[in-house]
Structures are given as C-alpha cells and as structure tokens.
Structure 1
Amino acid sequence: MNLTSTEKCRAAEKLIQKGQFEDAGFLIDQVLESHPQNTSALIAKSALQLKAGHVAEAKQHLLAAFHLSPDDPVILTNLASLALFENRLPDALEHLQTVAAQSPGHLPAILLLGQIHLQRGDLREAQGWLSRAAGLAPADPAVLVAGSTLALACQNLTEAAALLDKALEIDPDHVRALAALAHVRALTGDFEAAASLATKAHLEAPQDPDIAVTLARVYLASGALGEAQKLTDRFKARFPDFAPIVLCAAEVSIARGNVAGALADGAKWLRKDPKDSGRMAGFLKVLKKAGAWRQLLDLSDKLSAELAGSAAVLSLREEALHVLGRSREGWASWAARRNLPEGGPVPPFSVGLPARAPLLDELVLMRFVNAWAGEGQVEMIGDSHLESLWHRLPAGDRVHWTSQPGAQPELLADLTARTVLYAPDKSVFAPYLAPDPERRAQWDAALPSDGKPRIGVFWDTRAPGLLVDHMREALADLPVHAISLQFDDSRHQLRAWPGALDAGVALKGLGDLVNVVDCLDLVVGPDGLPLHVAGALGRKGIALLQENHEWYWAGEGTGSHWYPSVTRIVTAVGPDWSAAGAALQEMLDPQAA
C-alpha cells in the first residue's frame, strides 16, 4: 500500500524534529512532485530551507502556502518565525496577534509571543503569555522549556533546571529540553554535565544546526576550543548560510586567535546579501567579538538609513562609541531612541535593576547611584547579587531596596545616560566604595608587612581567558607578595602557585572584598570584580585586557576613562597572553624595586 501525502508529511515532521533533514527532504519532495500545492509539504519544505540558511527559498515556499491558506494558524506562526529571523519584529507580532485572536488555543503562536516578549525584556507580558500556554498544555515539554527560559531571565537557575528536569521526565529525548538544560548547567559552571546533556541532544538530532551550536558553545565556555572548532567547521561546511552556525564559528575562531580568518569568513557571508539587516547585525557582532571597534563604527556610518536605523545596529554602534571613549555620543543615541525627556531625574529617585543585569555593569552603576544619593533618597527596585557591596556606598544610608515600585522606575542605563548627558558633574569620578574600618584593620594586620608590595591577583578559570599560569609567570622572581583574591572554586587552582597567599579562604562575602583590596598596594588581573572594586576605591590597579574589552574599560593608551587609578594593558584577542605578561613585568619591575 502506498503512503498518503499526509502520512509522508507527518513522518517528515518527525524526522525534522530529530534533525534528520535529508530523509525529511526526500519525503517532502515526493509529496510536492505529485501535489505541488500541498500546504503541509510547503510548510515543511520552508522549515528545511530555513535550517539550511536559505532564507529566500524558505520565504518563497511559505508564501506559496500562505496564498493557498491565508488563515492557517500554522502558516501564520511560521511566517512570524521567518519575520523574526529577518529582524522584522512588527510583522512577526502582527502575524502572531492574528493567530491569537482567531485561534486562541494555537500553542506554538502563544509560546512564540512569550519568547518575543522575553527577548524584549518585558517579563510581565512574557509571563502572561507563557502562563496561558501552561494552562493549555501544562505537561507539554515545549511549554516547560519556555517556562525555564522565563525563569532564567529572572535569574532563577534552580527553577529553570527544575522545569527542564520535569520536561525530560516526560520525554527523556526531548532535544530542546536537553539543549536548554545544558545551557543552564554551563551557566552554573558544571561543564561536565553541560557537555553530557548537549552531546545527548546532538546524538538525538545529529544534523540539527541549532543543537550543534549549543554543543559548540558549551565546548567554548568550558575551554575546549579545539572541540568547538571541529564541530563548527563540520556544520559550517553543511550550512554555510545559517546565521547561528556562521556566527558561532566566527566566535570560536576569534577565541583561538584567528581573528583575520573570522573576519574574512564573516565578510564573505555578508557579501551574499549585504542589504539584509540580520546579516549586517551579525557581521557587526563578529567585529565586536574581534575588538574591531573602529571598523564597526566606520561600517555603521556607511549603511543605508534603513539598515543603520535598526535596533540591533544602533545598539552595537552605541557600544562601539562607549568603548572608543565617546560615551556622551553613545548615551545621546541611546536616549534619542527612548525619547528620554530633557533634564536629569529629580529626587526621590527610582532605579529599576533589570533582570540578569551583568554584575560588573551593576558595580559601574553604583558610581552614579551614590552620586544621586547625595541629593536625595534613592529607591532601588529589583534583586541584586551584590547586595553587600551596595552597603559599602558612602551614601548607602539613602539607598533603599524594594520589590514593588512606587512609581515608574528608571532603567539602569537610563540613569547612567541622564547622568552623563544632563549632569556631567555627577559623572566626574570620585571613589564610591568605602571599607569597614574595623574589618579593614583586621585584614591589614593579617597580611604580610615586611615592606614588599602587596599585589592582589586574580584570573579567569578557563581558556581563552587569562589563566593562573599566566599570572604566576608574570610575577615570577619579583620581590612582591602575591595575594590571591579568587573567592570561588577556582581557588583550588592555587595548587599550581604555592607561593601565593590565599585571601579568598577568609573572605566574608563580596562586601569583605572592599576591605582587603583597600589594604593592597596594587590589584592585577583581567576584567573582574576585584579590579572594579580597586577602581571604585580609587586604589591602584592594572587591567589585563584584550581589544574586545567591555565599554567601561574605555581609555587612551594605558589610561582608563572610567577608573582613573587603573592602568590598562590591551593586547590582541585570543588565548595568547604572553604580550600582556611581558608588559606587566615591565610595569612591575620598577614598582617592586
């Protein structure tokens, strides 16, 4: 008995879910040869083309299906997914809102609406849509995976992991749940579990490029750069136009120090469709990863008004302005996009801390909050992982935390933008952390006091970052006391550096870091909390950076705009830190003499 077109399409859909694209394509082509207007086959063919990175062909098949059945919720939802792929958010929302109105029980559209609002940072709206999805299908693994994404956006890793565990209890081979849990485990530093989960997902869907990207990123985060390179090379050969593969491959190449190769590959990919905003934003991200900030800015200045005006391009351009020390221009662009009113905020100030705000960005924000607190009460809304550091602000008695805003809060970047643009006196640096006198005295008495400089050191835990061996070699044979400021499990790496003093073992929380750093003559390391604390205290530091450093390390030569007491050493991007080590030794020799 011959298989019907419906049976072949259903089988193809299952094969696509498993990542068996060649087999799925074989069945779909059979259907389209005999029934070229079969909408299910056209939808499936579009999905396959999109996976291969052939956006134009995917769009052609999907529009053909749309003309045949313009009210089909599956087609409209897929059109929304395609619009998101092309960075056409308004079109995506229009399609999805049509589906939500006409087919309120169509789960994929509801989930996609929740995911869009998550990406936009609108957690309340996202929670509404995802709660609606959970009401429709509480035991659907896709719903549980979406819920875990919301939990992750709220920095609740425990809840995210619990939802994904539940999804895998229902379907142990659910590849999206496996990949999502791998991401969560990587965030918690459990790279062994992350690699195991990502590998299982890859084996379940060995041809799925999205899953391959997840596994490659786990390899990258755990320092297994060679494995990440092998995987991305393999998939880049098969999916040369698929944006996530192209961008992940470029990131891996840059991490390995092959910046020129990554930029060449990215430029080749962009030239295939230079008017596509998604490709342009992707290539600008490659330039960012490579630390090619001036090239990024130059290219963004030459774009058409349509491309230059996209949110993704504007955001990257603003970041480049910050890194190049042109923060006032960067904030002006940021403020214009959000229609900020003229003038700075007036007391009482209300500052909302965005969910999952980077810790170091939060520490930079303290500088401005402390300045505004000198003029009135500041209400902080949200959850902080640096609570003990907030207590070390000189004006901290005027800063109060709440979970419920009394008024519409300022965004984190909103306050900084207004400070730079409308109150330049507030952006002038002054030390904004203060030690506890009693605890500082205890640290001072406990640290060596034989006249040799006390140098606080810390490092990255994995390649391509600055490793403990790099720090040990840079300080070798110098008459100094190396004081380790590592405070997590990476303290165990001190086994390779027996001469260093382990201060991390005695730290009583992150707030105590302020006390010990204030006792040191110098703090040396990569971008990290101890160096920011030194800068915030106005203590001497040396930042070992690469050209793709964050915006708050903007400066000229060795000088730092944001932390005047910190000297910058900036070297090429990649795993080779020898140039930084040599420059550090040259700086430290006269200080140690």
Structure 2
Amino acid sequence: MSLTSTEKCAAAEELIAGGKLEDAEFLLEQVLDSHPLNVTALNAKCGLLMRSGKMAEAKRLLQIASDIAPEDPVVLTNLANVALLENRIGDAIDSLEQAHGARPDYLAAILLLGQVHQMLGQRKEAAEWLTRASALQAEDPDVLAAGAAFELDQQNIVEARRLYEKAVETRPDHIRSLAGLARIRCLAGDFDKAVELAKKAHLLAPQDPESALVLAQVFFQSGALGDADKLIGRFKRRYADYAPIVLLGAEIRIAQGEVQQGLADVAAWFRKAPGDAARLVAFLKLLGKAGDWQRILDMCEKLPAEVRASDAVVSLQEEALLALGRTKEGWQSWARRRNLSGESPCPPVQVTLPPRAPLLDEMVLMRFVDAVARNGRLEVSGETQIPGMWERLSAAASVDWAREAAPDPQLLADLAARATLHAPENGGFRAYLAPEPGRRAMWEAALPSDGRPRVGVFWDARPPGLLIDHLQDALQDLNIHIISLQFDESRHQLRTWRGVLDAGVKLEGPGDLVNLVDCLDLVVGPDGVPLHVAGALGRRGIALLQENHEWYWAGSDRQSIWYPDVERIVLPIGPSWAGAKPALRETLERIVPALHLPVTT
C-alpha cells in the first residue's frame, strides 16, 4: 500500500532530522509533483534546502507557502530561520512571536525564541522560553539539548553534560547533543574525543551549518587550522551572511597570520548592514582578536550615543583601554558601569569568583586580594581552578574561604577597580606569592647548583601557540641549565630536546610551581601559569607574545605594566612565530650580565 502525502511528509521530516537529506528530498518531490501547493511539503523542502545552503530556492518555496498560509506557525518559523541565517535578528523574533501567537504550543518556535534571546545575551527571557518548552515536552531531545546549551552558556558544565547525555540516551543520533558534547570535551582539553563526537554529528548531517561549525571550532581549538579553514570555507560560500560562520572564518584567518584578510572579510560583511548593532559588536570583537585595540577606541568614538553606551560596546572599550595600558581609564569605566562605591575597599571585604573565571585573569587579580588582605580580613567565595595557588598568597593567613557567597559580594575585577581608583597604595605592584619554605628547600637541593643560571621554560601544546621547537631553536646552544616547567601531557614532547631537566614530572600541582619557580633565575615562555607565577613572585621572566595578547600583558615596548620583572617580546600574529628566535636571543644577550649568563657560539 502506497504512503499518503501526509505520511510521506512526516517520514521526510524524520529523515531531515537524521541528516538523510537525499532520501527526504526524494519523498518530498513525490508529494510536490502531485500536490505542488502542499504547505507541509513546501515547509519541509524549504528546511531541507536551508540545511543544504540553497538559500535562494528555499526562499522561493517559502514565499509560495507564505502566500498560501501566511499565519501557519511552521511557515513563520521557517521565515525566522531564514532571517537568522541572514543575520536579521529582529525579523526572526517578529516571525517567531507571530508563530507562537498562532499556536502557543508549537515547540519549534518556542525553542528558537529561547535560542535567539540566548544569542542576544538576554538570559532571563531565554530561561522563560525554555521553561515553557520543558512544560510541554520535558523529555524531548530537542528540549533537553536547548536546556543544555543554556546551561553551557552559563558555564554550568556538569548540568549541560548531563542534559546532553540524556538526550543522546533517548536518541543516539541527536545531532545537536553530539555537537554539544563535543564542545564540552573541547573545553576540558580532550580534543581527540571532541573531534570524534563532532565528526559523528557532522557525518549525520553533512550539510547542516551548525554541526559543521562545531567541528570547525574543535579543529580550530585543537590546532588543526588547515582542517578548520577548509571546512568553514565550504559553508561560507553557502551562508555568506550567517554571523557564526563569517566570524569563525575570519578568526581562523587571523590565527593563520592573515590578519588583514580576516578583518577585510568581516568588514565587507559589516558594510552590508552598517546600522546593525550586532554586526558592529561582532566586528569590534574581531578587532580585539587581531589586537587592534586603538581601532576599537577610534570606532567607538564615532558611534551614536545610544550604541556607544550599550554594555557590549562599553565592555569592549574597557578591554581596549586595559590592553593599551590605560589602566586607570579602563577601571574608571568598569566602576561606573557597575555602580561601584567611591570608597576605598576597607576590610572586612567580601569577594566572589565568577563561575569558571579565566584562570590567568584570576592569577593577575589575586594581587589586589593580597594587597587588601595585608590590611585586614578578606572573605572569598566561589570555585577556583587553582586552590593550591591561593594557599601561596603572601597574605593567605588573612584570607578566608566562604562556604556560600555573600548576598552581594564584589567580583575580583571590582576589587581591582576600587583599589586602583580609590586606594592607589593597594594598586601598585608588590610580589604577592610566597613559596613554602620546606618544599622550596627540596627543590633547591634537587636542581643543578654549579653556578650556571637555571632557566625555566614552558610552551603551548599545539599551534597556533608557541611550540617547543620555537624555544629549542632559540635556547639550545646556551651555557645554561634548562628546566622544563611543563606539567601536562605535552611534557612528553621533551623527547626531542635532550639535556633538559623535566621538573614537571615531580610537580605536586600548580601551587608547587611557586616553590620551583622561586629557585630559578629566569622563566621563558608564552602566556601561561609559569610566567604568571614568576611575575607574581617578582622573578625575572621573558614573555613571548603576539600582537593580540591579553589585557594583562599591556605595556610600553618591553616593559610589562602588571609584572615589572617580566620583559615582553611582542611578535606578529601567526602560527610560525616569525622572529621569535632573534628577538629572544637579543633579549637574553642583553640581560646576560644580570644573570651572569655565559653564551656559547
């Protein structure tokens, strides 16, 4: 018995959800051949074409469906999807609200409304739509995946993983959940598993831009820049206006050293809708990725007052000011935006760590905790990724850890702003980490002691970061003791560098780095924990950076603002780290007398 048109459409939608687009298209063509104005088939074919990147044909069919059934919630939701792929956020919201008004229980529209508000940073509204979706079908994999994405956006990793895994238990080929689990694995640094999950999602729906985006992001973060560029390039041709694809493509170009081309790509995209605030903010963020902080400030000066005053733009201005070393101006803006008190931070002070605070930001801002704690009690709440480091804070005896957050504690950055602006005696640099004497003595006894300088080194595990080869090339013929501070799996790369002492194998956690680094004469490496430890101890260091370095490496020429005893070498962006060897050699030869460092030729 042959299938009815309704059954064929239902079967086609199932096939589309599973990524089997060719089979779905075969069924839909059968329906449309006999019933060319079947709205259900037109909607399904439109969704199929969008996932294939055939936007012009999708829009043609969608117009036909809209003319027939302008208030159909599926038609309206498809109109919203088209608008999102073309970065017309306002139009998408209008269509989705109409769809919800026409059919309040239409799950697809509700979920998409939650997703759009989440994209816009409107978390309260996003949560409300997700609550409505959950009330309708709490166990539906799409609802679970939407909830997981929301939790992931809030940095609630454990809950996000639980929801994604529950969705996969219900439907093992659920593409969004597989892609979400890949993102979580990527955050944990498990790139092999992340690639496996992302590839599975992509193979289930090879034409789907969302699964392709996740796979490209995993490639990018794991250092496979060529694979990321190739994949995103295919989808850029199909979705020329879809913001996530345009921006990731540009970010990949920048990481490859093609900075001007990456910026030009996004500038052309921005010029298509120069009045679109979302595009403007995206372009400004990309300028930050390129390290073009002054251009951010210059552009912001020319913006309309209402756009310039938005949180997203002001936040970028603050980051630019800090990255340019205009510290006081940056913290003044931060203080105004957060309505901070104009008083000095007088103890007892309560401070909280934001969820999953960037580890290195936390290390930099610990200096203000230490400065305030020198004058009285200070209470910290929240979770830290470096508990052992807090124990090595010079004023650790005055720091208490709270079980629960205070009703309205200030953030670490709030404390930095208030100290810089209202208690400048607390804003200046003083060494704020201290070794544990017994453990330091053990390291001192274990390290070479023939008078040659001890130089600690570390590197990035994968490109486009600074690799072990870059350091080995610059340091291999110097008459020094090279001590590896690497403490993760990339320690095993030392097999290519003979004569280096692998201290990382004996490290008892990040806090023990304080004891080890305090025994060294110099630390050399990229932006990472060992160099921050050296800076916080007031030990000599050389930071190898690129022009898009983080705000805390602000400085003038070689001088670092945040760590006065660490010299900066700032190089062009790119995975080759061109110029690293001569710049590092020149710096070492200049500071040789201070280190009594004999150099062999």
Return the TM-score normalized by structure 1: 0.86
Give, in whole Å, the separation in 1 of the partners of 2:68 and 2:20. 28
More displaced stretch, 197-206 vs 399-408? 399-408
User: What is the Cα deviation at residue 198 of structure 1?
Assistant: 1.1
Residue 264 (structure 2) pairs with residue 281 (structure 1): no
Where does structure 1 lack aligned partners over 5 or more consecutive residues?
none
For residue 481 of structure 1, report the CA deviation from its aligned partner.
0.8
Shift in alpha-carbon separation, 1:314–1:156, aligned structure 2, 3 A: closer
**Contact 2:202-2:215 within 8 A present in 1 as well:** yes
Q: Please tell me whether Structure 1 or Structure 2 has the larger radius of gyration of its CA atoms.
A: 2
Contact 1:290–1:547 (CA<8 Å) still a contact in 2?
yes
2:408 counterpart letter in structure 1: Q
1:508 is displaced (CA, Å) by 1.2
Q: d(CA) in 1 for partners of 2:108 and 2:87?
A: 23
Q: 1:516-552: per-residue Cα shift (whole Å, max 9, x none)?
A: 1111101110000111111111111110000000000
In 1, are the aligned partners of 2:481 and 2:500 still within 8 Å (CA)? Answer: yes
Matched letter for residue 109 of structure 1: I
* TM-score, length-scaled by structure 2: 0.85
Equivalence for 1:493: 493
Partner of 1:445: 445
Match of 2:569 in 1: 569
CA gap of 1:74–1:35, structure 2 versus 1, over 3 A, is closer
Give the corresponding residue for 1:526. Answer: 526
Mapping of 1:372-383 within 5 angstroms? 372-383=372-383
Q: Distance in 1 between matches of 2:534 and 2:67?
A: 59
Report deviation, 1:389.
0.8
Q: Is the 8 A contact 2:553 2:560 kept in 1?
A: yes
> 1:106: Cα distance to partner?
5.0
Query: Any idea what SS the aligned residue of 1:441 has?
Result: helix
CA contact (8 A) 2:15 2:24 kept: no
Q: How does 1:130-145 map to 2 (within 5 A)?
A: 136-145=136-145
Q: Is the 8 A contact 2:392 2:434 kept in 1?
A: yes
**Residue 492 of structure 1 aligns to a residue in which SS?**
helix
Residue range with higher mean Cα deviation, 465-474 or 300-309: 300-309
145-154 vs 246-255, greater mean Cα deviation: 145-154
Alignment-mate amino acid for residue 255 of structure 1: A
Alpha-carbon separation, structure 1, partners of 2:396 and 2:42: 63
- Structure 2 matches for 1:167-182, cutoff 5 A? 167-182=167-182
Against the structure 1 CA distance between its residues 115 and 383, is the aligned structure 2 distance closer, same or farther, given a 3 Å change threshold?
A: farther
Offset of residue 53 of structure 1: 11
Q: Is the 8 A contact 2:376 2:398 kept in 1?
A: yes
Distance in structure 2 (CA, Å) of the matches to 1:44 and 1:285: 36
- Native 8 Å contact 1:352 1:412 kept in 2: yes
CA apart distance, 1:120: 4.7
C-alpha distance in 2, partners of 1:314/1:415? 19
Q: Match for residue 309 of structure 2? A: 309
| Mapping of residues 188-587 of structure 1, within 5 Å | 188-587=188-587
Preserved CA contact (<8 Å) 2:420 2:426:
yes
The whole-number CA distance in structure 2 between the counterparts of 1:7 and 1:501 is 68
Question: Percentage identity across aligned positions?
Answer: 49
SS of structure 2 residue aligned to 1:570: strand
Taking the TM superposition and a 5 Å limit, the aligned residue runs for 1:127-166 are 136-149=136-149, 152=152, 157=157, 160-166=160-166
| 1:467 to partner: Cα distance | 0.5
Q: Tell me, what secondary structure is at the counterpart of 1:429?
A: coil
* 2:542 aligned partner, one-letter code: I
Q: Is the 8 A contact 2:85 2:242 kept in 1?
A: no
1:72-95 superposed Cα distances (whole Å, 9 cap, x missing partner): 699589869968996979996998
* Mapped partners of 1:384, 1:589: distance in 2: 39
CA gap of 1:83–1:507, structure 2 versus 1, over 3 A, is same
Report whether the alignment pairs 1:186 with 2:183.
no
Kept in 1: contact 2:19–2:204 (CA 8 A)? yes
Q: Give the Cα–Cα distance (whole angstroms) in 2 for the partners of residues 250 and 572 of structure 1.
A: 17
Instruction: For 1:434, give the aligned amino acid.
Output: A
Name the SS of the counterpart of 1:578 in structure 2.
coil
Residues 377 and 399, structure 1, Cα contact 8 Å, conserved in 2: yes
Deviation of 1:363 (Å):
0.8
Distance 1:418 1:172, change over 3 A: same
Q: Which residue in 2 is equivalent to 1:18?
A: 19
Q: How far has the Cα of 1:191 moved from its partner? A: 1.8
CA RMSD of aligned residues (A): 4.2
Q: State how 1:82-97 maps to structure 2 within 5 Å.
A: none
Aligned AA (2:500): A
Distance (whole Å) between structure 2 residues aligned to residue 286 and residue 148 of structure 1: 27
Alpha-carbon offset, residue 115 of structure 1: 8.5
Partner amino acid, structure 2, of 1:415:
L
Change (3 A) 1:119 1:448: farther
C-alpha distance in structure 2 between counterparts of 1:339 and 1:70, whole Å: 46
Specify whether residues 354 and 80 from structure 1 end up closer, same or farther in structure 2 by C-alpha distance, changes over 3 A only: farther
Q: Secondary structure at 2:579's aligned position in 1?
A: helix
Displacement, 1:241? 1.5
The one-letter amino acid paired with 1:218 is: V
How many aligned residue pairs are there? 590
SS in 2 for 1:544: strand
Give, in angstroms, the shift of residue 169 of structure 1.
2.4
Q: Secondary structure of 2:194's match?
A: helix
Instruction: Note the C-alpha offset of 1:411.
Output: 2.4
Q: Mind listing any 5+ residue stretches in structure 2 that lack a counterpart?
A: none
Partner amino acid, structure 2, of 1:247: L
**Do the aligned partners of residues 181 and 22 (structure 1) sit closer, same or farther apart at CA in structure 2, a change above 3 Å counting?**
same
Contact 1:368 1:415 in 2 (8 A): yes
CA distance in structure 1 between the aligned counterparts of 2:552 and 2:73, rounded to whole angstroms: 49
Deviations 1:19-45 (A, max 9, x none): 8499779969969x9659x69967985
Cα distance 1:267–1:155, how it changes in 2: closer, same or farther (>3 A)? closer
Given residue 522 of structure 1, which amino acid in structure 2 is its aligned partner? Answer: L
**CA spacing shift, 1:104–1:237, aligned 2, 3 Å:** closer
The 8 Å contact of residues 19 and 208 in structure 1, kept in 2 or not, is answered as: no
Shift of 1:464: 0.8
Post-superposition CA distance 1:140-189 (Å, at most 9, x none): 22233244445545756555444433322221211101111111222222
User: Does 469-478 or 106-115 show the bigger shift?
Assistant: 106-115
Whether the aligned pair in 1 keeps the contact of 2:370 and 2:396 (CA below 8 Å) is yes
Q: 1:267 to 1:378 in 2, by over 3 A?
A: same
CA 21–81 in structure 1, closer or farther in 2 if over 3 Å, else same: same
Mark the CA change 1:416 to 1:256 in structure 2 (over 3 Å): closer, same or farther: same
- The residue identity in structure 2 corresponding to 1:330 is G
AA matched with 1:486: Q
- Does the Cα contact within 8 Å between 1:198 and 1:218 map onto a contact in 2? yes
Task: Indicate the larger mover: 451-460 or 240-249.
Answer: 240-249
Cα deviation, 1:204-230, whole Å, max 9, x if unaligned, reads: 111111211111111111221111111
Asked if the contact 1:52/1:242 (under 8 Å) is kept, the reply is no
- In the alignment, the residues of structure 2 paired with residue 350 and residue 579 of structure 1 have an alpha-carbon distance, to the nearest angstrom, of 45
